[in-house]
């Protein structure tokens, strides 16, 4: 079974985000970039399916600037077989990304498509569900476990307050939540090997997709700063403040 995994190049999750002085966007100059943590979990899940003999080939696709090749190489080092970069300088909206992925799905005909549930930059949590709508495939969003059984999968999904398990017929779209797995570290030999794996580059035009982002960012501001409060000397003082000053207990 062919598995398609989508990965996104984002700011490393350990980096403190700063807003540009002109409030046009966050400052990404000279900032460490990495594979989106949820996308990494998606790649790991695909690799595990391959190790179990369920997946036969893993194709990893990224949409973004030329540098997103680095994140595709990371995924290849984790165990994906070949990469595809859809190169675009302007980042499309989630719907635009879903349309590009739909075009890739049409070409590659994977049985399973795994994405991260959201990227930690735009925090949209939309692309997987949108791709499922465009392909008319069933969706297992926020997956915490995936079991392939013949022509269908059982997906446990994280929902408010617990888990919901669904049976989806293949092909299907999965979005990975935190609990799905813990991604491995790529070994040095695998990193070297990844450099020789095939990586193709296409443009949105090659795929016949016209992008039209109807969302315009007017400004980006830092959130209201929290002022450090006071230190209390004892538990008694703390409880008194919470009861009588903050009135929260």
Q: Is position 192 an interface residue for another protein (rule: CB under 8 A)?
A: no
Asked if 41 and 181 count as a contact pair (C-beta separation under 8 A), the reply is yes
Pick 188 or 210: Cβ nearer another protein: 210
Nearest distance from C-beta of residue 32 to another protein, angstroms: 13
Pairwise CA distance, residues 143 & 150, whole Å: 19
Question: Which of 31, 53, 2, 46 has the alpha carbon at shortest distance from 180?
Answer: 46
Radius of gyration of the chain (CA): 21
Size of the site for another protein (CB under 8 A): 77
Q: Is position 211 an interface residue for another protein (rule: CB under 8 A)?
A: no
Pick 25 or 67: Cβ nearer another protein: 25
What pairs with residue 172 in β-bridges?
112
Lookup: tokens for 18: 């700063």
Q: Which of 69, 88, 93, 111 binds another protein (CB under 8 A)?
A: 93
Q: Is position 196 an interface residue for another protein (rule: CB under 8 A)?
A: no
Q: What is the DSSP letter of 173?
A: E
Considering only residues 26-55, where is the footprint of another protein by CB under 8 A? 26, 37-38
Considering only residues 103-162, where is the footprint of another protein by CB under 8 A? 120-134, 137-139, 141-142, 154, 157-162
Which residues are within 8 A (CB) of 232 and not within 5 positions of it... i.e. 6 or more apart?
A: 238, 241
Considering only residues 4-23, where is the footprint of another protein by CB under 8 A? 11, 13-14, 16-17, 19
Nearest distance from C-beta of residue 199 to another protein, angstroms: 27
């Amino acid at each position: 079974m062919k598995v398609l995994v989508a990965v996104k190049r984002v700011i490393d999750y350990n980096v403190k985000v700063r807003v540009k002085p002109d409030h046009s966007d966050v400052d990404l100059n000279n900032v460490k970039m990495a594979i989106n943590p949820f996308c990494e979990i998606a790649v790991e899940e695909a690799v595990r399916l391959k190790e179990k003999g369920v997946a036969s080939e893993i194709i990893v696709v990224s949409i973004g600037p030329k540098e997103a090749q680095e994140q595709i190489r990371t995924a290849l080092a984790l165990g994906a077989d070949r990469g595809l970069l859809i190169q675009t300088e302007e980042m499309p909206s989630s719907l635009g990304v879903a349309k590009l992925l739909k075009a890739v799905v049409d070409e590659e005909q994977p049985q399973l498509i795994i994405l991260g549930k959201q990227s930690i930059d735009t925090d949209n949590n939309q692309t997987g569900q949108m791709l499922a709508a465009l392909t008319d495939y069933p969706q297992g969003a926020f997956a915490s476990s995936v079991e392939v059984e013949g022509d269908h999968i059982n997906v446990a999904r994280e929902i408010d307050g617990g888990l919901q398990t669904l049976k989806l017929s293949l092909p299907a779209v999965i979005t990975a939540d935190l609990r799905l797995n813990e991604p491995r570290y790529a070994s040095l030999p695998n990193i070297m090997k990844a450099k020789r794996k095939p990586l193709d580059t296409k443009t949105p035009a090659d795929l016949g997709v016209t992008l039209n982002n109807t969302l315009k960012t007017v400004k980006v501001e830092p959130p209201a700063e929290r002022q450090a409060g006071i230190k209390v000397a004892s538990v008694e003082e703390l409880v008194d403040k919470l009861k009588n000053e903050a009135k929260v207990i």
